[in-house]
Amino acid sequence: MICVIKLGGSLSHDPRLANWLEMLAEFGAGRVVIVPGGGPYADAVRAQQQRWKFSDEHAHRMAVLAMNQFALQLQGINPQFLLAATPSEISQALANDRIAIWLPSIMALGAPGIAMNWDVTSDSFAAWLARILQADRLVLVKSCPIPASATSDELATLNIVDRGFVNMTADAAYAIQVVAVSDLDRVRRQLIATQ
């Protein structure tokens, strides 16, 4: 079983991030791939684009690099996780009973079929990676409350997921969950149940 878990960049200032990383270390080894959000690093890109008016394509590329920065932060918090940039590096980390943190820039920058604008953020990249890895489950962890039974379309309308996420997951073969950061126990139980 492979579970792709996207940790939203908005968690970068949340003390509960440490709890998520500890839980994943305990129950996700050999099965979990973490996709980092962009967090304050992507917010800096948005601010610079607003100031300097450069293109969405440039901002998109910078935001992917922002995800790399949050990946490095996550690995700095928990050094037992392995940074992995390619499917083979991810597979190797999981085969060694470790957790992989995806560095997206090698695979994602300029990937065919991915719009290079703010419609595609780490949510869509997590869905894209889950497809490539033939994952069993995709979990997006958000800092905001998640309306019960909301569809992907509704979550996109509420700006909880990016606009590209709906198309990216339209024919997904994996289960999809969007959870609040407070839902740690529910995700823990699911990981235990699938061991």
Closest CA to 16 of 137, 194, 189, 180: 180
Cα four-point dihedral sign 43, 172, 166, 61: positive
Kindly report the number of other CB atoms within 10 A of residue 18's CB atom. 12
Radius of gyration of the chain (CA): 15
Rounded CA-CA distance 121/63 in Å is 8
- pLDDT by residue (tens digit) across 88-138? 999 999 999 999 999 999 999 989 989 999 999 999 999 999 999 999 999
What gap in Å lies between CA 160 and CA 9, rounded to an integer?
A: 13
56 has pLDDT over 90? yes
Write out pLDDT tens, residues 69-89. 999 999 999 999 999 999 999
Two structure tokens written together for 9: 């960049």
pLDDT over 90 at 171, yes or no: yes
Note the pLDDT tens digit of each residue in 22-54.
999 999 999 999 999 999 999 999 999 999 999
**pLDDT score of 43:** 97
How many contiguous H segments (helices) and E segments (strands) does the chain have? 9, 6
pTM of the predicted protein model: 0.97
Q: Is the pLDDT of residue 195 over 90?
A: no
CA-based nearest residue to 63, from 49, 82, 80: 49
Q: Please check whether residue 81 is in contact with residue 101, taking contact to mean a CB–CB distance below 8 angstroms.
A: yes
The pLDDT value recorded for residue 84 is 98
Query: pLDDT tier at 154 (50, 70, 90 boundaries)?
Result: very high
Q: In 8-153, at which residue ranges do the beta strands (DSSP E only) sit?
A: 32-36, 82-84, 100-102, 137-142
Q: Which residues pair with 142 in a beta bridge?
A: 180
CA distance linking residue 170 with residue 104, whole number of Å = 22
Whether residue 153 is predicted with pLDDT greater than 90 in this model: the reply is yes
**Could you give the CA distance from residue 30 to residue 96 in angstroms, rounded to a whole number?**
7
